[in-house]
């Protein structure tokens, strides 16, 4: 995920699987109109790839629409982002207000560090959760020195410490069909909470575009938009490079877990990135955006001859893959050694930069995959996030 929609630290195996199971209800097609209740024309041009949020820019304020369509019902939460003392039209008086730029943000999902870094706004982070999963060395060292408070997560969230830190806003991630009890309590304490759902995007650029929501919060939207356009151009150029490729190699993903083998849905950002990289994803036959649980026998029958195998969980060797199930030895990719994992950039044994800086560098991920599937198109390319799995 760039998937498993472990996404970002969803790659912790049990957590990733649990998340994938509930994501099955999300079958939002990339080509579907966004399920919004506002005039989409007003935001035209600000958000071009993402389906989970939108930005509406007005003279004295902005509207941030967070579009939730991973639960049983679809809805849109709208926030008014205004500079201090700005006058807001009365029709927006019932929306939750966020004064921008937001100075002190509690970040409860460390993958978004890459967005703050992209905007040059790491100093806006005033508290963080689960620092052991932080790849950014500056932030990690600030936590270790005590300069940046660690506030826990979920049931361990330290609300008193958030109040003591003078937090203006909490940024977290949404889970399908799960109550947001911490969010409700924080709002009662007067702390706005934004719940992101970038993991449900259908493309890598769609995930990366969430940086604009961060940029709007910290007052860096114009600068971020210019930088993001460069990323778009690089991604598009790479996609065009592959557009005429023939003999598309077949690909499977991930590893079996407790009787099921979760494959990315055919409209997930993993499936679409494989298309963009010139590969033939063999389970690209549905409109799911989340993980699809398949019986081992189904993957065995259909994927046995797949030429490539990517993202096999945390595996660093073929032996680690075979430890999951000895029958995996029969797969063609095992026999030919065409197995690549996205864990080249690790720190402290378990922290994977793929789920952090990879979020804002879709072009680097795409370049790696093109180099893997069509090495003749990018001669001399050195893999950035991926590595070949040894025997």
Strand-pairing partners, residue 341, are 387
Give pLDDT, residue 391.
62
Model confidence at 184, in pLDDT bands (50, 70, 90)? confident
Q: In the predicted model, what is the mean pLDDT of the chain?
A: 86
* 293, pLDDT greater than 80: yes
Which one is predicted more confidently, 74 or 124?
A: 124
Mean pLDDT of 111-127: 97
Provide the residue ranges of all domains of the chain, joining segments of one domain with +. Answer: 235-388
The structure's pTM equals 0.86
Q: What confidence tens digit (pLDDT) does each residue in 303-343 have?
A: 999 999 999 999 999 999 999 999 999 999 999 999 999 99
Sequence-ordered list of residues with C-beta below 8 angstroms from that of 204, at least 6 positions apart, any chain: 2, 235, 269, 272, 273, 276, 362, 365, 366
> Is 60 exceeded by the pLDDT of residue 179?
no
Tell me the pLDDT band of 113, cut-offs 50, 70 and 90: very high
| Residue 349 confidence (pLDDT) | 85
Identify the pLDDT of residue 42: 42
Q: Which residue has the higher pLDDT, 75 or 374?
A: 374
- When pLDDT is averaged across residues 296-305 and rounded to a whole number, the result is 96
**CB within 8 Å of 340: residues ≥ 6 apart:** 308, 309, 310, 372, 383, 386, 387, 388, 389
Q: Which range (10-24, 197-211, 242-256) has the least confidence?
A: 10-24
| pLDDT value at residue 20 | 36
pLDDT confidence bin for 389, thresholds 50/70/90: very high
pLDDT (0 to 100) of residue 180? 62
Tokens of 241: 């490079």
Q: Is the pLDDT of residue 3 over 70?
A: no
pLDDT at 38 over 80: no
Q: Which residues contact 59 (CB under 8 A, 6 or more apart)?
A: none
Interval 281-303 mean pLDDT: 92
Average the pLDDT over each of 22-36, 66-80, 233-247 and give the range with the smallest value: 22-36
Label residue 16 by pLDDT band (50, 70, 90): very low
Does residue 115 carry a pLDDT above 60? yes
Average pLDDT over residues 42-50: 72
Task: Find the mean pLDDT for residues 220-244.
Answer: 95
Domain 235-388: which CATH class?
alpha beta
């Amino acid at each position: 995920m760039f998937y498993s929609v472990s996404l970002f630290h969803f790659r912790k195996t049990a957590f990733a699987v649990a998340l994938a199971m509930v994501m099955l209800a999300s079958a939002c097609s990339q080509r579907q109109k966004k399920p919004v209740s506002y005039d989409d024309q007003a935001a035209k041009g600000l958000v071009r790839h993402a389906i989970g949020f939108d930005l509406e820019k007005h003279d004295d304020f902005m509207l941030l629409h967070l579009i939730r369509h991973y639960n049983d019902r679809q809805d849109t939460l709208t926030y008014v982002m205004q500079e201090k003392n700005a006058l807001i039209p009365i029709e927006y008086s019932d929306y939750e207000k966020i004064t921008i730029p937001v100075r002190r943000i509690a970040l409860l999902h460390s993958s978004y560090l890459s967005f703050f870094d992209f905007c040059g706004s790491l100093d806006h982070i005033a508290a963080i959760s689960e620092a052991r999963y932080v790849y950014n060395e500056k932030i990690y060292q600030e936590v270790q020195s005590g300069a940046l408070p660690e506030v826990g997560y979920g049931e361990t969230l330290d609300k008193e410490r958030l109040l003591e830190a003078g937090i203006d806003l909490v940024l977290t991630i949404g889970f399908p069909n799960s109550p947001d009890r911490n969010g409700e309590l924080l709002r009662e304490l007067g702390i706005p909470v934004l719940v992101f759902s970038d993991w449900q995007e259908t493309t890598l650029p769609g995930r990366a575009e969430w940086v604009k929501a961060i940029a709007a919060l910290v007052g860096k939207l114009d600068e971020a938009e210019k930088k993001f356009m460069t990323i778009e151009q690089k991604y598009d150029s790479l996609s065009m490079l592959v557009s005429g490729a023939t003999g598309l190699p077949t690909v499977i993903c991930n590893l079996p877990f407790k009787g099921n083998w979760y494959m990315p849905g055919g409209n997930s950002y993993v499936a679409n990135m494989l298309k963009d990289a010139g590969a033939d994803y063999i389970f690209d036959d549905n409109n799911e955006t989340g993980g699809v649980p398949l019986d081992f026998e189904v993957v065995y029958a259909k994927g046995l001859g797949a030429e490539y195998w990517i993202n096999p969980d945390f595996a660093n060797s073929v032996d680690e893959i075979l430890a999951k199930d000895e029958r995996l030895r029969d797969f063609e990719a095992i026999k030919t050694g065409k197995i690549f994992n996205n864990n080249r950039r690790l720190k402290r044994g378990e922290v994977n930069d793929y789920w952090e800086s990879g979020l804002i560098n879709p072009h680097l991920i795409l370049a790696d995959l093109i180099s893997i599937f069509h090495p003749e198109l990018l001669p001399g390319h050195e893999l950035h996030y991926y590595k070949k799995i040894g025997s």
